[in-house]
RNA sequence: GGACGGGUGGGUGAGUGGCUAAAACCAGCAGACUGUAAAUCUGCCGCUCCUUGCGGGCUACGGAGGUUCGAAUCCUCCCCCGUCCA
């Protein structure tokens, strides 16, 4: 059996250089995964994503289940076939929607009842159902359903959510194994053999060290293919995000990938990597792009600002992306001011390039052993503010 | 020549005696965005002063007068712009 994950190098700081082997290709880690919630990274074609060098994308269980429906997607070639994406896909379980759609849901030990944000209809998501949907989607990496809580939350709230998340993880794991056994009994190739779908557990525990440690330890006992750190970057200070992440990664098995969910700002990413994080995802580059915020080597640039109206320079002179090779700030600003859709497209292209390039540099820095230097240099550049 | 209707802050356009520096939207300016209910949201948007306060002063609803404690709102005249009738 070939290893799902291999660690190529671990630096003294804790940063790891690795490789994730999925049925849809290799993913170099530390990796940034663009978010494509509804089967699309908003604003970019799959072709562009491939050209940009994206190795793995995120999809969302909850959204795809609601529309167009996982059974339909299964019939149409699973998510890879349906959206014509040949590389790896990780699907989030809908746990984040427990947090973000808090007004539209009710959580019980059994699962979560959502009122659809699309038409108000009621839907029930349990750990087992979330797994079933993701199986249908055929994602390379499936996430267990978890309960992501808000910040700040009391110790009691955090404890309850972490316990529930663990119970759900246990049920998810059991359902995953049962699914495999059922296929074996029916003399069918197992999902694992067919698709090698991997299932990740998620550590919760809010901003409480004891809960995080307990959650991590328990989860490790369930032997997941990888472990995620969830419930962070929901409003707490960056230092606290790092502290909690460190508490968790310390307890996770070194041979399994660690995924810090929902991060982060470019200047913060090296911090997470140094804490032993291998995978990250964030809507920041795509959403910010649509809102006219471009990431550059000199900090954020708000392209709508009047000062760019006559600027013939590219968004980032140090950037090698096709947008910066071809278009001026003045033109991009014009597109945004005119509310032209191409503005969002070009900005998203640039921002995703920026993130992927950042990850390439981080991997290189790990290889050369100068990540710390890279990190402080990056921060001093990016924190200098908009250019 | 006559009859109506109308002229409001950069634009569209509410308001028909005090709660109105004047709704709302657009434009303009600035900011936010972290496992996507987000091509979204927030703030500012007449000028000016300071001890920056739900602070003071000034200017403002076509123009000029008037009524009133108080007028974008009522009256008079004038100037524009529509529509219709001659």
What tens digit of pLDDT does each residue of A203-243 get? 999 999 999 999 999 999 999 999 999 999 999 999 999 99
Spatial distance between the Cα atoms of A268 and A279, rounded to a whole number of angstroms: 14
What does the DSSP assignment read for A212-263? HHHHHHHHHTT--SEEEE-S-SSSS-HHHHHHHHHHHHTTS-TTS-EEETT-
pLDDT digits (tens, 9 = 90+) for A78-102: 999 999 999 999 999 999 998 999 9
Q: Which residues of A77-91 are buried (b: 16+ CB within 10 A; e: fewer)?
A: ebbbebbebebbbbb
Domains of chain A, each with CATH number or no CATH: 4-282 (3.20.20.105), 289-382 (no CATH)
- A261 CB contact with strand B at below 7 Å: yes
Spatial distance between the Cα atoms of A257 and A199, rounded to a whole number of angstroms: 11
Spatial distance between the Cα atoms of A62 and A91, rounded to a whole number of angstroms: 10
pLDDT given for residue A181 in this prediction: 86
Residue A69, CB-side half-sphere exposure with 13 Å CA sphere: 4
- A351 CB contact with strand B at below 7 Å: no
Please compute the mean of the pLDDT values over residues A47-59 and round it to a whole number. 98
- A320 CB contact with strand B at below 7 Å: no
Confidence of residue A194 (pLDDT cuts 50, 70, 90): low
Q: Determine contact, residues A168/A132, Cβ cutoff 8 Å.
A: no
pLDDT digits (tens, 9 = 90+) for A285-334: 999 999 999 999 999 999 999 999 999 999 999 999 999 999 999 999 99
Q: How many helices (H) and strands (E) does chain A have?
A: 16, 16
Query: Predicted ipTM?
Result: 0.92
Burial class, A325, CB count within 10 angstroms (exposed 0-12 / middle 13-18 / buried 19+): exposed
Q: What is the CA A248 to C1' B64 distance in angstroms? A: 80
Spatial distance between the Cα atoms of A352 and A34, rounded to a whole number of angstroms: 7
pLDDT given for residue A191 in this prediction: 55
For chain A, helix, strand, coil in percent to 5 are: 45, 20, 35
Within 7 Å of a protein beta carbon, the nucleotides of strand B are 27-41
Question: Could you confirm whether A223 is annotated as catalytic?
Answer: no
Q: Strand pairing of A25-29 and A31-34?
A: unpaired
Give the nucleotide with minimal C1' distance to the Cα of A204.
B35
Question: Could you confirm whether A281 is annotated as catalytic?
Answer: yes
Give the nucleotide with minimal C1' distance to the Cα of A265.
B34
- A203 CB contact with strand B at below 7 Å: no
Lowest mean pLDDT among A194-198, A343-347, A358-362: A194-198
- A264 CB contact with strand B at below 7 Å: yes
Q: Determine contact, residues A221/A164, Cβ cutoff 8 Å.
A: no
Please compute the mean of the pLDDT values over residues A24-46 and round it to a whole number. 98
Mean pLDDT (chain A, rounded):
95
Q: What is the CA A354 to C1' B73 distance in angstroms? A: 58
């Amino acid at each position: 059996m070939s290893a799902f994950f291999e660690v190529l190098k671990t630096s003294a700081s804790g940063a790891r250089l690795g490789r994730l082997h999925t049925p849809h290709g290799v993913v170099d880690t530390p990796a940034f995964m663009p978010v494509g919630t509804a089967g699309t990274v908003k604003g970019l074609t799959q072709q562009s994503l491939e050209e940009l060098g994206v190795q793995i994308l995120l999809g969302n269980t909850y959204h795809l289940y609601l529309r167009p429906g996982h059974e339909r997607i299964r019939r149409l070639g699973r998510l890879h076939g349906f959206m014509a994406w040949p590389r790896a896909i990780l699907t989030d379980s809908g746990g984040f929607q427990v947090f973000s759609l808090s007004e539209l849901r009710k959580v019980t030990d059994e699962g979560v009842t959502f009122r659809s944000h699309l038409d108000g209809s009621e839907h029930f998501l349990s750990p087992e159902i979330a797994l079933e949907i993701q199986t249908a989607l055929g994602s390379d990496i499936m996430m267990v359903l978890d309960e992501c809580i808000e910040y700040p939350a009391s110790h009691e709230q955090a404890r309850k959510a972490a316990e529930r998340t663990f119970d759900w993880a246990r049920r998810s794991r059991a359902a995953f194994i049962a699914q495999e056994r059922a296929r074996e009994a029916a003399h069918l190739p197992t999902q694992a053999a067919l698709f090698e779908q991997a299932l990740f557990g998620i550590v919760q525990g809010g901003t409480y060290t004891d809960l995080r440690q307990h959650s991590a330890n328990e989860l490790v006992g369930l032997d997941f293919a990888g472990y995620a750190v969830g419930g962070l970057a929901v409003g707490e200070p960056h230092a606290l995000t790092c502290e909690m992440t460190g508490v968790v990664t310390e307890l996770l098995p070194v041979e399994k990938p660690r995924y810090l969910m929902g991060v982060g700002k470019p200047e913060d990413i090296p911090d997470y990597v140094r804490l032993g994080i291998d995978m990250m995802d964030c809507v920041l580059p795509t959403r910010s792009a649509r809102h006219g915020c471009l990431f550059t080597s000199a900090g954020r640039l708000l392209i709508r600002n009047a000062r760019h109206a006559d600027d013939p320079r590219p968004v980032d002179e140090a950037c090698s992306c096709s947008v910066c090779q071809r278009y001026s700030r003045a033109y991009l600003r014009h597109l945004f001011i005119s509310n032209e859709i191409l503005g969002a497209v070009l900005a998203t292209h640039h921002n995703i390039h920026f993130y992927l390039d950042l990850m390439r540099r981080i991997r290189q820095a790990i290889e050369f052993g100068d990540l710390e230097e890279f990190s402080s240099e990056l921060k001093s550049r990016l924190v200098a503010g908009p250019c």
